[in-house]
Amino acid sequence: MIFLISIFASSINDTIISLKNQNQNIQQFELPPSARAGIIIVNMEDKEIENHDISKPHRDDHCQLMFALNGKFKLNIDFEIIEFSGPALLCIFPEEVHHIISVRDPKGWMISFDSSLVNKELLQLLENKINNPFLLREESPFFQQLTILMDLIEKVQSENTNSYIQKSIHSLLNALLNLISGELVSNLPLNKSKESRSIIIKEAFIKLTKEHYKTWKQPAQYASALSISAAHLNDTVKSLTGSPVSAHIQEASIMEAKRLLYFTDSSVKEIAYQVGYDEPVYFGKLFKKLTNLTPLEFRKKFRD
């Protein structure tokens, strides 16, 4: 997701876009051709950027990290309206459906990057710990360090004079993400700074549900991937969240179903298959159990 100044300049109606005529699938975008070796940084004040319309709901197959120095922002990320003013950080991950509602006077950078460039544990920490938006203080050393790194990445990207430039940019990206991760951890309460094995298991499990909700419906499949017993996984997750493993597996599928109900015109039967349920009737009962609405009631309430 790269910010177009032409979109920034106009205030988009705050009402969520009517999507009755939307395609049957949520549109997903790849990194643009201008992204070399899986990464691109864009200055929000750049007026010569060609990209897709970010005012319409979509998702991307890559991660985006926004560092807003100034400006007022309003976005929708997975049914949640997020409003903030710079300076702030904001992360958007591949599975999240999002769009810009309005932006005024933006200044800063957006980095889009392939998640394979980043250590899995580092990416997981960012996904679990960052709260969108992560507000910053201009006088803080962290803010100054972020500014220096972002500016350096932009300058190095513009040079591209030899074969080592992209390796340098990859290293700078990881330095940036490690810097952010360190700040996130340092802001945790003192008694949580050193996380227990239980929290690590829970967070790894939640990440797996987002990746495998369609095909992995049994707790044993997740336990096997984490090299622990199903009983241990269930006890750990339930003790930390209050809900058993099976409930989290179902919730991951239902979240994707909500996205499809809201952002596409696919039938309930088609959506049931897309989120891994071969029996639409069972899917309908499960959806109502978790949301207190039938799938069609949900679509009507939130969209039609």
In this predicted structure, which of 45-59, 151-165, 261-275 has the lowest mean pLDDT? 45-59
Residue 32 has pLDDT above 70, yes or no: yes
Residues 112 and 168 in one domain: yes
Residue 235, pLDDT above cutoff 50: yes
Model confidence band, residue 208 (pLDDT cutoffs 50, 70, 90):
very high
- End-to-end CA, the chain: 27
Q: Which of 267, 16, 35 is nearest to 173 (CA)?
A: 35
Q: pLDDT above 90 covers what percent of the chain?
A: 49
Of 146, 173, 190, the position where a domain reaches its end is 190
168 and 31 part of one domain: yes
Whether residues 235 and 185 share a domain: the answer is no
Q: Are 286 and 270 within one domain? A: yes
Query: 36: domain CATH number?
Result: 2.60.120.280
Q: What is the pLDDT of residue 96?
A: 87
208 and 101 in a common domain: no
Judge if 60 and 166 occupy the same domain.
yes
Identify the pLDDT of residue 6. 35
Dist CA 87 CA 81 (whole Å):
18
How many structural domains are present in the chain?
Answer: 2
Tell me, yes or no, whether 177 and 242 share the same domain: no
pLDDT for 52 equals 65
Bond before 87 cis per omega within 30 degrees:
yes
Residues 43 and 21 occupy one common structural domain:
yes
pLDDT at 304: 58
Mean pLDDT of the chain: 84
Label the pairing between strands 63-77 and 98-113: antiparallel
Longest dimension (CA), the chain: 59
* Per-residue pLDDT, 159: 83
249: CATH: 1.10.10.60
The answer to whether 136 and 89 are in contact (CB under 8 A) is yes
CB 41 within 8 A of CB 153: yes
Assess whether 83 and 178 both reside in one domain: yes
Tens digit of each residue's pLDDT (9 = 90 or more) over 144-193: 999 999 999 999 998 877 778 888 999 999 999 999 999 988 876 555 54
Is residue 301 over pLDDT 70? Answer: yes
Pairing type for strands 63-77 and 80-85 reads antiparallel
Asked whether the beta carbons of 74 and 80 are under 8 A apart, the reply is no
287 and 216 in one domain? yes
How much is the pLDDT for 217?
94
Show the domain range for 251. Answer: 197-302
Instruction: Tell me which of 85-99, 122-136, 284-298 is least confident.
Output: 122-136
238 shares its domain with 283: yes
- pTM as predicted: 0.69
pLDDT of residue 47: 55
Q: 95 and 21 share a domain?
A: yes
**Choice between 25 and 62, residue whose per-residue pLDDT is larger:** 62
